[in-house]
Amino acid sequence: MERNKKIIRTSLLGIAVNLVLVALKAFVGFISGSVAVLLDAANNLSDALSSVITIIGTKLSAKAPDKKHPYGHGRVEYITSAIISAIVLVTGVLSLKESIEKIVSPTKAEYSTISVIIIIIAIIAKIVIGLYYKSVGKKLSAGVLIASGSDALSDAFLSGGTLIAAVVSLIWQFTIEGWIGAVISVFIIRAGVMIIKETFDSIIGTRADPDLTEKLKKTLCNYENVLGCYDLVLHNYGPDQIIGSAHIEVPDDMTADKIHKLTRTISADVYVKFGIILTVGIYASNNSEKADEIKGALLDMSKNYPGLLQIHGFYLDEKNKSVTFDLVTDFKADAKEIYENITKEIKEHYPDYDFHVVLDSDYSD
């Protein structure tokens, strides 16, 4: 897959850059005796290792679906991010330990002009690779690359701290190595925590991108005889593997063959346009004086329930005196209470009708 090839190429470039930076910073660190520079080198080494893990994870995530994993292996990318975050955290904790020891027992670092030049080169390299990572990551919707890009830009900022320590040492002959190292360590730990949070959110499942759901709903509503789109649910099985479902509302006099053609066309078009495997369900819509009356009464009642977001799927079966509709409630609202109250209220207004109400969750915008 072209997407995976681009991720791997970008990661290989990152590995090369980071290994060069490791060599340069390690040289400067050992020559000058600077713990901050050595910690910075260790951070670059962990970045290179993270890129290696990214490559392995990308290759594993590209494996074809099988009987045991029918949705593919795309979520391996999230596991990869979790491993990377663990590496970043361990690096940060160890760096903090070393920095505290330097604060307690400081040793003077000896910088040279060439050391400062190398640090400046490292900062520029990290800014370039960070911006490149983020650019490619956004184009490919690759969270791992975006995270790596943010981490690289943070490294550039942290290397700036090392540069400050070097300048202070050269001009004022004063060492702040331990303190700079401690600041760097805190930022490394923070980066690890942020990656963990983002990774766990992806594994647990997050709300679909509002821009995507808006475009998807507009696309579905543009088809002839589609009166509305509801219950859009998207499941992410990897950055480029989305499976979902939606209900469309159509006139109740449409024949089965027309509905079949419509739903098949929608599913095929959505896959081509969005790369989403979408199952399309149907709500029937009927227009009559009584249906409009009851629906209007429901909409008026809904204004008294702030936690009630939407009423849809309304259908009146006049012959059997039966009404069906769905309620969408806010996650913070008491859905059960809203369900019971509005069902009771509408029943009091129309005692001759049976009401069958379904509670829906607010899965997408």
Residues 120 and 226 in one domain: no
Residues 15 and 158 in one domain: yes
Residues 196 and 289 in one domain: no
Cα 323 to chain centroid distance, Å, stands at: 39
Q: Examine the fold and report which residue of 157, 180, 204 is the final residue of a domain before the chain moves on.
A: 204
Distance CA 169, CA 163 (A): 10
Average pLDDT over residues 202-218: 89
CA-to-CA separations, 83 to 74, 86, 89, in angstroms, rounded = 15, 5, 10
- Condensed to tens digits (0 to 9), the pLDDT of residues 162-181 reads 777 777 766 776 677 677 77
Residue 334's CATH number: 3.30.70.1350
Measure the CA dihedral 303/308/311/317, to 10°.
Answer: -90
Q: 51: buried, middle or exposed (CB in 10 Å: 19+, 13-18, 0-12)?
A: buried
Residues 261 and 337 in one domain: yes
Q: By residue range, what is the domain housing residue 160?
A: 2-204
Non-local (6+) Cβ contacts of 287 within 8 A are: none
- Condensed to tens digits (0 to 9), the pLDDT of residues 81-136 reads 788 778 778 877 877 887 787 778 766 666 667 777 777 887 888 888 888 888 88
pLDDT at 22 over 90: no
Domain count, the chain: 2
- Provide the residue type at 355 as one letter: F
Residues 19 and 124 in one domain: yes
Residues 64 and 122 in one domain: yes
Residues of the chain with pLDDT > 90, as a percent, come to: 35
Mean pLDDT, all residues of the chain: 84
Residues 7 and 83 in one domain: yes
- Condensed to tens digits (0 to 9), the pLDDT of residues 247-285 reads 999 999 999 999 999 999 999 999 999 989 999 999 999
Residues 172 and 222 in one domain: no
Residues 230 and 197 in one domain: no
Residue 185's CATH number: 1.20.1510.10
The secondary structure element, H or E, covering residue 251 is: strand 242-251
Residues 306 and 276 in one domain: yes
